[in-house]
């Protein structure tokens, strides 16, 4: 594969020498005489392997050209070598700090020019290949991590024979609410993971209590109410992802301060936990139970209207009401 190099130099003789050296070496060159010509070239989105820029040009200097290259997403990762007649360490230091890969001083030996050019291109290719490999491995690890979290969430849901896929639905509803509330893509992904694990503390609750068809005793209800703290204890050990425990601990807090385990009120409750609380309650009302089927959609909507500002953050309750209104065929419930 031929290397492609853009050379910018207003010195006709210097440009001719570089052209001769590159042609003998089998390099495909684009030879320009000014910064203006370079800017026109950049506008065409041609991707070279390297820019070789003279520092001193009549219309623009090399530092300005380098800045333009570095601010353009198409070219910012293309290496730049300065070609200069200056013998000034300050200029060289400034160029390296600005992002130049190397300096070649005029007059130059052909062997030196080619060696530095080829070394710079090869180093950049190795860097790009390594970065791509890291991205691939990171994506793979992220997928594995998500699969582990999904498996853990499924094992928690499996304890309750009356609801299937509860954690996955809560995660999906939470992500949708967050997206409509203006959260970034990465924040939406975070709240999805938090939603998947919001009930992980139920691992510590007896199956007979979780699946009891009738009314819970005070002791059994007290046991159920420990799952937010148990979940937070489990998840706090994932130190690289401290946000995970937020949804687990505080998804049963109420906006009016009457929730548990900490009785937080209003803005004291983390925003993500307020979202998960809405999603969790919605799925509870729209899922089948031993004592009832999924509640009618209009009843669910009325509950959110009634409880906005008391049980729920009004902002997120309103988003859920909007989602309900858009779901005209009532698909948003347990299958």
Residue 87 DSSP SS3: coil
What average pLDDT does range 68-76 have in this prediction?
A: 87
Residue 141 has pLDDT above 80, yes or no: no
Q: Which residues are CB-contacts of 39 (< 8 A; sequence separation ≥ 6)? A: 68
Query: pLDDT-derived band of residue 290, with 50, 70 and 90 as boundaries?
Result: low
- On average, the pLDDT of the chain sits at 89
Query: pLDDT-derived band of residue 105, with 50, 70 and 90 as boundaries?
Result: confident
Residue 174 has pLDDT above 90, yes or no: yes
pTM of the complete model beyond 0.75: no
Residue 161 has pLDDT above 70, yes or no: no
Q: Which domains does the chain have, with CATH numbers?
A: 4-132 (3.40.50.2300), 158-326 (1.10.3210.10)
Residue 261 has pLDDT above 90, yes or no: yes
Which region, left, alpha or beta, applies to residue 165 given φ > 0 means left and ψ of -120 to 50 means alpha?
Answer: left
Query: pLDDT-derived band of residue 78, with 50, 70 and 90 as boundaries?
Result: very high
Query: pLDDT-derived band of residue 232, with 50, 70 and 90 as boundaries?
Result: very high
Q: Which residues are CB-contacts of 192 (< 8 A; sequence separation ≥ 6)? A: 171, 172, 174, 175
DSSP string, 95-124: HHHHT--EEEESS--HHHHHHHHHHHHHHH
Active site residues: 202
Confidence at residue 147, expressed as pLDDT on a 0 to 100 scale:
83
């Amino acid at each position: 594969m031929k290397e492609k190099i853009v050379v910018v130099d207003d010195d006709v003789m210097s440009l001719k020498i570089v052209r001769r050296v590159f042609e003998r070496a089998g390099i495909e060159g684009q030879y320009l005489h000014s910064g203006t010509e370079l800017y026109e070239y950049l506008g065409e989105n041609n991707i070279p392997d390297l820019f070789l820029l003279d520092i001193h040009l009549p219309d623009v200097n090399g530092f300005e050209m380098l800045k333009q290259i570095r601010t353009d997403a198409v070219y910012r990762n293309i290496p730049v070598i300065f070609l200069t007649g200056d013998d000034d360490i300050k200029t060289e230091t400034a160029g390296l700090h600005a992002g130049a890969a190397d300096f070649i001083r005029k007059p130059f030996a052909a062997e030196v020019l080619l060696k530095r050019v080829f070394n710079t291109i090869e180093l950049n290719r190795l860097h790009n290949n390594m970065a791509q490999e890291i991205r691939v491995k990171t994506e793979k690890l992220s997928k594995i991590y998500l699969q582990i979290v999904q498996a853990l969430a499924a094992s928690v849901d499996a304890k309750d024979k009356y609801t299937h896929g509860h954690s996955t639905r809560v995660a999906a509803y939470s992500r949708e609410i967050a997206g409509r509330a203006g959260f970034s893509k990465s924040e939406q992904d975070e709240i999805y993971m938090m939603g998947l694990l919001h009930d992980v503390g139920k691992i510590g609750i007896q199956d007979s209590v979780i699946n009891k068809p009738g009314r819970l005793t005070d002791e059994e209800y007290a046991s159920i109410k420990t799952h937010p703290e148990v979940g937070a204890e489990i998840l706090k050990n994932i130190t690289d992802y401290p946000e995970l425990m937020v949804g687990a601990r505080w998804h049963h807090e109420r906006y009016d301060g009457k929730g548990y385990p900490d009785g937080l009120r209003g803005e004291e409750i983390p925003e993500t936990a307020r979202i998960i609380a809405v999603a969790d309650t919605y799925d509870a009302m729209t899922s089948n139970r031993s004592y009832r089927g999924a509640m009618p959609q209009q009843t669910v909507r009325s509950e959110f209207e009634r409880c906005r500002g008391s049980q729920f953050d009004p902002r997120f309750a309103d988003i859920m009401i909007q989602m309900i209104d858009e779901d005209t065929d009532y698909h948003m419930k347990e299958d």
